[in-house]
């Protein structure tokens, strides 16, 4: 079978010798060809050629207009299987993909009794509300912009408040708690947190697939705790998914964005509403499907922007179709 690079034009090919208009036209053609190829692979995956198609779908990420990309997929059947492409052990900045990891560590603290999920933290929002972005605090400001529970205001500041609360309750710097509570037991040896608990983690595809395996088959947290994390929180409030717009409802769990019926969205159009995950400004994403017991990760070294929207959603649809086929 031909590799993706044999069948699909590359973005920015020979960019140094052409005008900006030439490059833009070539990029548009490459994008169109890639999306068409992903649709072909999605159809092939849906027809049942799972394992072979999955490897080829993942390989198409090498055609994204980024310098470096690593991707991976997980099938948690009787024998867990992972497939990766690119440098699976390369450490990338995660940006907001940090949030599900931090939320998991916070829920370890809740299970340990250091915090209570519905206890109120300054400036008046509960742990649950801060984890689900209904705490009312702004993106970067800790001041209340809305009363808690009224609106889903996407907030990194809320995660910083949570980290400080865990640090006070455990008498341990949160970065250290994060390492001991999450990274050590899951074998995430290349994952670190420095700076903001909302966007300061760095990790690898390999480590994030280990995290995804935990979410799909919880060992560190009780399964009921993880089920609550993946359950819509705060009712049908409206909110914004950065880069994609306003939605009502805008479902979110505890640390995990839930796809719901959002459209457009970074996950695949054909992926079900219960799909849970997160994407980051660093050009990164992770999603899990607990019913199908599958997951996927993509890490890049290019910030999220207009380049990502046309390729992420069809890529995720093709990956999802291939994963489902490979499970059968």
Q: Total structural domains in the chain? A: 2
**Do 121 and 12 belong to one domain?**
no
What is the C-alpha to C-alpha distance for residues 155 and 142, in angstroms, rounded to an integer? 9
What is the C-alpha to C-alpha distance for residues 190 and 203, in angstroms, rounded to an integer? 6
Where does the pLDDT of residue 33 fall: very low under 50, low under 70, confident under 90, or very high at 90 and above? Answer: confident
**Do 116 and 260 belong to one domain?**
yes
pLDDT digits (tens, 9 = 90+) for 62-99: 999 999 999 999 999 878 899 999 999 999 999 999 99
Pinpoint the alpha helices (H) of 76-233: 98-112, 127-131, 157-170, 174-178, 184-186, 205-216, 223-229
Residue 157 is assigned to a structural domain of this protein: yes
Of the two residues 12 and 163, the one the predictor is more confident about is 163
Of the two residues 270 and 24, the one the predictor is more confident about is 270
Amino acid 281: pLDDT? 98
Cβ-based burial of 69 (10 A; exposed 0-12, middle 13-18, buried ≥19)? buried
Per DSSP, 180 falls in state I
**Do 221 and 273 belong to one domain?**
yes
Residue 289 is assigned to a structural domain of this protein: yes
Residue 28 is assigned to a structural domain of this protein: yes
Residue 316 is assigned to a structural domain of this protein: no
Where does the pLDDT of residue 39 fall: very low under 50, low under 70, confident under 90, or very high at 90 and above? Answer: confident
Q: What's the CATH code of the domain at 197?
A: 3.40.710.10
pLDDT digits (tens, 9 = 90+) for 185-201: 999 999 999 999 999 99
Residue 116 has pLDDT above 50, yes or no: yes
**Do 4 and 140 belong to one domain?**
no
Amino acid 42: pLDDT? 73
**Do 21 and 84 belong to one domain?**
no
Beta strands, E only, 204-323: 239-241, 245-247, 257-258, 276-280, 284-289, 294-300
**Do 118 and 40 belong to one domain?**
no
Q: Helices (H) and strands (E) in the chain — how many of each?
A: 11, 13
* Residue 45 structural domain: 1-65+324-328
pLDDT digits (tens, 9 = 90+) for 221-267: 999 999 999 999 999 999 999 999 999 999 999 999 999 999 999 99
**Do 278 and 168 belong to one domain?**
yes
Q: How many CB atoms lie within 10 A of CB 270?
A: 14
Amino acid 1: pLDDT? 38
Amino acid 140: pLDDT? 86
Of the two residues 57 and 275, the one the predictor is more confident about is 275
3-state secondary structure 65-86: CCCCEEEEEEECCCCCEEEEEC
Own/partner long-range contacts of 214-217 (Cβ < 8 Å, ≥24 apart): 214/104, 214/186, 215/104, 215/276, 215/288, 215/290, 215/295, 216/74, 216/76, 216/288, 216/290, 216/293, 216/294, 216/295, 217/76, 217/293
Amino acid 43: pLDDT? 76
Amino acid 27: pLDDT? 62
Where does the pLDDT of residue 178 fall: very low under 50, low under 70, confident under 90, or very high at 90 and above? Answer: very high
Q: To 10 degrees, the CA torsion angle through 203, 207, 208, 212?
A: -160
Phi and psi at 191, nearest 5°, equal: -100, 130
Where does the pLDDT of residue 45 fall: very low under 50, low under 70, confident under 90, or very high at 90 and above? Answer: low
Find out whether 138 and 223 touch, Cβ atoms under 8 Å: no
165: CB partners within 8 A, 6+ apart: 115, 121, 127
Residue 174 is assigned to a structural domain of this protein: yes
**Do 17 and 132 belong to one domain?**
no
Mean pLDDT of the chain: 91
Cβ-based burial of 56 (10 A; exposed 0-12, middle 13-18, buried ≥19)? buried
> Which helix or strand (DSSP H or E) is residue 88 part of?
none
> Which helix or strand (DSSP H or E) is residue 201 part of?
strand 201-203
Where does the pLDDT of residue 121 fall: very low under 50, low under 70, confident under 90, or very high at 90 and above? Answer: very high
Q: To 10 degrees, the CA torsion angle through 199, 202, 204, 205?
A: 0
**Do 194 and 78 belong to one domain?**
yes
**Do 121 and 51 belong to one domain?**
no
Residue 295 is assigned to a structural domain of this protein: yes
Amino acid 31: pLDDT? 77
**Do 155 and 295 belong to one domain?**
yes
What is the C-alpha to C-alpha distance for residues 320 and 309, in angstroms, rounded to an integer? 17
**Do 52 and 82 belong to one domain?**
no
Where does the pLDDT of residue 2 fall: very low under 50, low under 70, confident under 90, or very high at 90 and above? Answer: very low
Phi and psi at 104, nearest 5°, equal: -60, -45
Residue 235 is assigned to a structural domain of this protein: yes
Per DSSP, 179 falls in state I
Residue 222 is assigned to a structural domain of this protein: yes
């Amino acid at each position: 079978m031909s590799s993706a690079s044999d069948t699909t034009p590359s973005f920015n090919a020979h960019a140094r010798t052409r005008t900006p208009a030439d490059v833009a036209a070539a990029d548009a053609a490459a994008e169109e060809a890639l999306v068409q190829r992903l649709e072909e692979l999605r159809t092939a995956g849906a027809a049942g050629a799972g394992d072979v198609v999955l490897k080829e779908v993942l390989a198409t990420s090498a055609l994204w207009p980024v310098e470096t990309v690593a991707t991976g997929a997980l099938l948690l059947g009787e024998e867990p299987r992972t497939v990766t492409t690119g440098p699976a052990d390369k450490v990338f900045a995660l940006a907001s993909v940090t949030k599900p990891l931090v939320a998991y560590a916070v829920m370890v603290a809740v299970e340990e009794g250091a915090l209570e999920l519905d206890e109120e933290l300054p400036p008046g929002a509960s742990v649950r509300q801060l984890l689900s972005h209904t705490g009312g605090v702004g993106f970067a400001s800790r001041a209340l912009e809305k009363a808690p529970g009224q609106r889903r205001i996407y907030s990194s500041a809320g995660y910083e408040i949570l980290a400080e609360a865990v640090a006070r309750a455990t008498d341990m710097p949160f970065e250290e708690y994060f390492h001991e509570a999450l990274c050590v037991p899951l074998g995430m040896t290349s994952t670190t947190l420095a700076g903001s608990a909302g966007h300061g983690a760095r990790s690898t595809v390999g480590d994030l697939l280990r995290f995804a395996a935990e979410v799909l088959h919880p060992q560190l947290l009780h399964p009921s705790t993880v089920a609550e994390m993946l359950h819509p929180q705060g009712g049908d409030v409206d909110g914004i998914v950065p880069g994609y717009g306003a939605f009502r409802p805008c479902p979110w769990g505890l640390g995990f964005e839930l796809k719901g019926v959002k459209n457009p969205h970074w996950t695949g159009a054909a992926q079900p509403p219960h799909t849970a995950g997160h994407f980051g400004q660093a050009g990164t994403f992770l999603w899990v499907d607990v019913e199908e017991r599958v997951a996927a990760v993509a890490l890049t070294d290019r910030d999220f922007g207009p380049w990502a929207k046309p390729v992420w959603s069809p890529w995720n649809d093709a990956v999802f179709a291939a994963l489902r086929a490979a499970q059968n």
